[in-house]
């Protein structure tokens, strides 16, 4: 019986897997779909760190790139999707929005004897966890009670390290829902999405399967989307009533932008996502830290 991770990998990326057949936007909504204000903020961040290119990893159908081009046509965008080789060297601003939560990881559960064991594809428990997986668990997500579950972040850490290893000059930001050691969810976070609704994470390729990301184990500086976007100038303030009288069209457009900003900044929704960033070179680090702090 394969582990849950092996079956998850096949369900999403196997020959007939979910991501081989389906359009992501038909099944869930990310910050990119929520508002062009998100792309505007990414474009401003790129300029603030001195980048002339955004590299979008896990680009889906390229909606972020299209929205960036609309606000800053001079900014180059390089999209990386499934089966694309990551360029050997990366220069610029790397963005991975909701990529790592789709990188399958081992799911483990503490058995009645207090031993962490792999969860298998049929949800029964397999071998006892050992080696690097056990070391990761001890360091990042220790389990307390029988029945507690964890999602071992090594595959995500490695995927992200593969990006950072290539970063010559610039800043890389992973944006995802996640948690840090001080507040891990006791029963894990495995979820499915199908046609815009949450569903059981069934392993037959019929739905997206995702688990929150252990943000701190990626390495880098962790902040929230709310803090980051506010620092980049996204604000949910509503236009004054006076504008409704003097310029009704502008009033409606500003009101709608304020509503979109509120969704991006909502601390219990997209605003609660983590932004984990790393820069290479003193200049990039200094500029990113200035741009991303309020």
Ligand X SMILES: C[S@@+](CC[C@H](N)C(=O)[O-])C[C@H]1O[C@@H](n2cnc3c(N)ncnc32)[C@H](O)[C@@H]1O
Task: For residue 180, give both structure tokens.
Answer: 């840090």
Q: Return the number of the residue (59 or 288) whose C-beta is nearest ligand X.
A: 59
CB of 99 to ligand X, least distance (A): 5
Give yes or no for residue 229 binding ligand X (CB under 6 A): no
Applying CB under 6 A, what is the total number of residues that bind ligand X?
16
Kindly tell me the burial class for residue 132, based on how many C-beta atoms sit within 10 Å of its own C-beta (0-12, 13-18, 19 or more): exposed
Q: How far apart are CA 203 and CA 217, in angstroms?
A: 26
Q: Which residue is nearest to ligand X (CB)?
A: 58
Q: Return the number of the residue (143 or 159) whose C-beta is nearest ligand X.
A: 159
Is the Cα dihedral 171, 177, 179, 183 positive or negative?
Answer: positive
Binds ligand X (CB under 6 A): choice among 8, 10, 11, 19: 19
Q: Return the number of the residue (13 or 180) whose C-beta is nearest ligand X.
A: 13
Please list every residue from 30 through 69 that binds ligand X, using CB under 6 A.
30, 32, 57-60, 63
Please list every residue from 66 through 85 that binds ligand X, using CB under 6 A.
80-82
Task: For residue 148, give both structure tokens.
Answer: 């507690």
Give yes or no for residue 97 binding ligand X (CB under 6 A): yes
Q: Return the number of the residue (81 or 138) whose C-beta is nearest ligand X.
A: 81
Binds ligand X (CB under 6 A): choice among 4, 8, 99, 141: 99
CB of 256 to ligand X, least distance (A): 21
Contact by Cβ (8 Å): 206, 199: no
Compute, in degrees rounded to 10, the torsion defined by CA atoms 93, 160, 99, 46.
-10
CB of 113 to ligand X, least distance (A): 36
Q: Look-up: residue for tokens 């992200």? A: 160
Q: Look-up: residue for tokens 């064991």? A: 117
Give yes or no for residue 102 binding ligand X (CB under 6 A): yes
Alpha carbon 45 to its chain centroid, in Å, reads 17
Give yes or no for residue 161 binding ligand X (CB under 6 A): no
Binds ligand X (CB under 6 A): choice among 9, 72, 98, 157: 98
DSSP 171-206: EEEEEE-EE-GGG--TB---EEEETTEEE---SSSS
3-class DSSP assignment, residue 80: strand
Give yes or no for residue 225 binding ligand X (CB under 6 A): no
**Contact set with ligand X (CB under 6 A):** 19, 24, 30, 32, 57-60, 63, 80-82, 97-99, 102
């Amino acid at each position: 019986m394969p582990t849950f991770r092996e079956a998850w990998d096949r369900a999403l990326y196997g020959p007939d897997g979910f991501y081989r057949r389906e359009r992501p936007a038909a099944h869930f909504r990310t910050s990119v779909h929520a508002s062009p204000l998100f792309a505007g903020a990414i474009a401003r961040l790129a300029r603030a760190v001195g980048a002339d290119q955004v590299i979008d990893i896990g680009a889906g159908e390229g909606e972020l790139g299209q929205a960036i081009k609309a606000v800053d046509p001079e900014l180059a965008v390089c999209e990386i999707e499934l089966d694309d080789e990551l360029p050997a060297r990366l220069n610029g601003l790397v963005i991975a929005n909701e990529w790592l939560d789709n990188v399958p990881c081992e799911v483990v559960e503490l058995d009645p004897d207090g031993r962490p064991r792999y969860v298998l594809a049929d949800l029964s428990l397999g071998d006892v966890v050992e080696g690097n997986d056990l070391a990761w668990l001890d360091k990042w997500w220790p389990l307390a009670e029988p029945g507690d579950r964890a999602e071992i972040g090594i595959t995500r850490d490695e995927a992200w390290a593969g990006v950072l290893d290539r970063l010559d000059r610039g800043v890389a930001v992973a944006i995802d829902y996640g948690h840090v050691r001080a507040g891990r969810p006791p029963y894990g976070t495995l979820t499915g999405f199908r046609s815009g609704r949450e569903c059981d994470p069934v392993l037959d390729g019929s739905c997206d399967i995702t688990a929150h990301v252990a943000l701190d184990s990626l390495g880098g500086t962790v902040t929230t989307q709310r803090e980051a976007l506010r620092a980049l100038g996204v604000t949910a303030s509503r236009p004054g009533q006076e504008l409704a009288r003097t310029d009704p069209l502008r009033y409606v457009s500003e009101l709608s932008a304020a509503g979109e900003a509120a969704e991006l900044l909502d601390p219990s929704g997209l605003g609660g996502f983590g932004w984990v960033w790393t820069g290479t070179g003193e200049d990039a680090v200094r500029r990113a830290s200035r741009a991303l702090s309020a």
